[in-house]
Amino acid sequence: GDKIVPVVDELNKDLPIKMFEYYATGLYSLDSLIQRVKDDGLLRFDLMPKHTRLTRMTKSTAHRTLRNPFYYGEFYWNDKLYKGTHMPLIGKDLWDKVQELLNQTKEKNEPKPKYGTMEFAFKGLLICGECGRTVTAEKKIKKSGKEYVYYHCTKFGGHCSQKAVNEALLDEHIVNSLDVLGTMQQDTVEYVAEGLKQSLYLKRATVDRTRVKMEAEKAKLQNRLSVLYEDRLDRNITEEFYNQKFAEYSTKIKDLDTQISKYTHADIDYYQFGVKTLELAKRAAELYKNAKPDEKSELLHFLLSNSPLTDQTPQFTYRKPFDRVRQRALSSDWSG
C-alpha cells in the first residue's frame, strides 16, 4: 500500500530527486523545501500518478516521500524491507543523509533545518578570525520598521573583541570576490577544458574499470544464486545450507549495488561538474546578484567554506576547484 508506492512516477521523477538533494544540504525545513520545489516548477500535479490522488504537497506528504526507501531501490511489504527490481532514483548514501537530518527532530516531529532560516545567506560559512568560534546571524528591526541582518561571533565561553557586521557589507565583499572568478579569458577556458579532458582519460582508465569489475562480480554472485536455487529445488542441498549461502550472496550483492549506485551518481556528477565549474566561475557574480536569499545561501555553500571574519572584513575561502580558478585569475598565470 502506501509504504511501497512512490509519490511520483517516471514522468515527474525530478521532483523526488530534487527533494532529497535539497533536503540533504541541511538548509531546508519541510515548509521551505515545499516552497523551493514549487519555485522550481516541479510540483506538477497533472503529472502525478492517479493512484496518489494528490492535489497539493503537504508537510506530511513531503516527510513521507523523504522516508520512502523506494527511491534508493528498496520497498516495504508486510513490514519487511525488500530489494526492488526498479531503477533507483537516488543513491543509498543520499537517502541515509536525509534520514539523519530527519531524525534531528523538533517539537511535533518536524525536522530541524541545519542552518535555520533561509534568509541568512552567510550563516554556516563564516568563522571568527580572532577566536575561531562560529559566526552566527540574527535579524534586527529598527524603529522605522526596516530589517537588517547582522553577523557576529558567538563568543561562547570566552572573550572576543570582534564587532557585528551588516550583511549588506558582506554582500559587497562577496560580489567583488566573485567578480574575479569571471575574469577568465577564452584561451583560459580552453586551457582548463583541455585539463578536464585529460581527467576524463584518467577516469576511463581507472574509475570506469573498477565499476566494470564490480558489475562482473555482481553477475557472478547472481549466477551462484540461480544455481543455488536450482539445487535447492532438486533437493541436492539442505535448507540450512541454502539459507546460509543465500544470506551470504544476497548481502554481497546488496553491498555491490550500493557501491555501483555511488559510481553511477558519481559519473553523472563528474560529467556535470567539469562543465558547470567553468560556467559557474564565469557567471557567479551575476547569479549571486540576481538570486533570492535561499539561492544565495545555496550558491555560497557550494563555493565557500570556513571563511574567517576579522574586523568586519571576510577572507573568503573557496572550495576546490574554485580556489585554483580564483588564484589563477588573480595572478593571470595559468601555467601548471
The Cα–Cα gap between 326 and 285 comes to: 13
Compute φ and ψ for 219, nearest 5 degrees.
-60, -40
Q: What is the pLDDT of residues 277-310, one digit of tens each?
A: 777 777 888 889 888 877 888 888 888 888 999 9
DSSP three-state, residue 263: helix
Assign residue 73 a region: left if phi > 0, alpha if psi is -120 to 50, beta otherwise?
left
Highest-confidence segment of 18-22, 47-51, 127-131, 270-274: 127-131
C-alpha cell at 173: 565583499
The Cα–Cα gap between 329 and 30 comes to: 40
Report whether pLDDT(117) > 50: no
Average pLDDT over residues 256-281: 74
Average pLDDT over residues 119-129: 85
What pLDDT does 55 receive?
A: 55
Place 265 in a pLDDT band, splitting at 50, 70 and 90.
low
Place 165 in a pLDDT band, splitting at 50, 70 and 90.
very high
Place 107 in a pLDDT band, splitting at 50, 70 and 90.
very low
Average pLDDT over the chain reads 79
- What secondary structure does DSSP assign to 72-114, as a single string? GTEEEETTEEEE-SSPPSS-HHHHHHHHHHHTSB-GGG-B--T
What pLDDT does 21 receive?
A: 85
Q: What is the DSSP letter of 304?
A: B
What pLDDT does 246 receive?
A: 92
93 with 73: CB under 8 angstroms? Answer: no
* Whole-prediction pTM: 0.49
Report whether pLDDT(7) > 60: no
Report whether pLDDT(158) > 90: no
% pLDDT > 70, the chain: 81
What pLDDT does 269 receive?
A: 65
Place 204 in a pLDDT band, splitting at 50, 70 and 90.
confident
Report whether pLDDT(319) > 90: no
Place 331 in a pLDDT band, splitting at 50, 70 and 90.
confident
User: CA 12, 14, 16 angle in degrees (round to 5)?
Assistant: 95
